[in-house]
Amino acid sequence: MTETSQPRGRGQKSGRSPLGRGSSAGLIVCFAFKPQESEDGMSITLYAQPYDITATGFYFSAVEEFDGKAAKLVNDFGEQVEEFEIQFIDGDQIDCELAKAIDLNQANFKDYLTCAQNWEYWEKTNVIIAVGECGYEFDPQASPDRYWIDVYHVGSMRELAEQFVEDGLYGDIPESLQYYIDYDAIARDLAIDYSAVSVAGEYLIYRAS
C-alpha cells in the first residue's frame, strides 16, 4: 500500500486538500515498500482538489464517481466548479509511481485509471521508465512495449555483467578462464549504455533502444 497523505474520514468535509493547497501532481511522493506483483491490486483512491479556494474537494476511485460528484459541486457562491488538481491518495506503490511519472492531472486521470486497472505490472514499469526517465510522452492508446526498453531485475551493474557473461553474450568462455574476467571493467562499459532506476522499491537496470 502506498499513501501520499493521511486522508480525513470520508464523511468529513474540509476546505483543504489532503496534501495541502500548495501541492501539485508533480510533487507526488511514493513511499518505498517491498515490491509486490498483486494480481488484483489495491483500489486506487484519488482526490479532486478544486482550484477555487471556496469549494471543497472530494475523494473518488472511478471515472463515473468523479463525474457524478463534480457535476454537483459548487463553490460558496453557488457557481459550478470545473477545474481540479488531481492528487493520488492511496493504492499500490506501482500505481503511485505511474501517477507521478505521467504527471497526473485532470486531463489524463481517466486514461490513468483505465491503464492502472488493465496493465500488467511489467507494463506499468515500462511506462514509468519510458515517461519518467527517458522523456517519452504518455500515450494510453499505445502498447507499453512500444518503447523498446530492456529491463533487468539485477542488483548492480556488476551483477548484470555477470549475467551477460553467463548467458554467453561475450562468446563461449572456457571455464578455466572465467576466473580472470574483470567484471568490474565490463560493468563500467555497460554503464555507458545502461542506467539504473528504482521502481516501486525495486532496483532495476534498463536500456532504452
Kindly state whether residues 41 and 88 are assigned to the same domain.
Answer: yes
Is the pLDDT assigned to residue 18 strictly greater than 90? no
- Same domain for 42 and 91, yes or no, is yes
Residues 172 and 130 grouped into a single domain: no
Domain boundary among 144, 175, 195: 144
pLDDT in the model for residue 17: 56
72 and 95 both lie in a single domain = yes
Average pLDDT on 44-48 reads: 98
Indicate if 38 and 130 belong to the same structural domain: yes
- In this structure, the answer to whether residues 94 and 62 fall within a common structural domain is yes
Q: Please tell me whether residues 14 and 35 are part of one structural domain.
A: yes
- 132 and 172 belong to one structural domain: no
23-28: average pLDDT? 52
pLDDT at residue 8 tops 90: no
Looking at residues 68-85, what average pLDDT do you find? Answer: 97
User: Does one domain contain both 167 and 201?
Assistant: yes
DSSP the chain: -EESS-PPPTT---SS-TT-TT--GGG-----------SS-PPPEEEEEESSTTS--EEESSHHHHHHHHHH-B-TTSPBP--EEEEEEEE-HHHHHHHHHTT--TTTHHHHHHHHHHS-HHHHHHHHHHHHTT-PPP-TTS-GGGG-EEEE--SSHHHHHHHHHHTTTT----GGGGGG--HHHHHHHHHHH-EEEEETTEEEEEEE-
**Domain match, 139 and 162 both:** no
Is 130 in the same domain as 190?
Answer: no
* 109 in the same domain as 12: yes
Domain ends where: 144, 163, 191?
144
Q: What is the pLDDT of residue 6?
A: 39
Say how many domains are in the chain.
2
CATH of the domain at 177: 1.10.10.1190
- Choose one of 95, 111, 144: the last residue of a domain: 144
Mean pLDDT value of segment 191-204: 97
Q: What is the pTM of this model?
A: 0.80
Over range 65-90, report the average pLDDT: 97
Arithmetic mean of pLDDT, 86-92: 98
Task: Give the domain extent around 137.
Answer: 2-144
Lowest mean pLDDT segment, chosen from 34-48, 128-142, 143-157, 185-199: 34-48
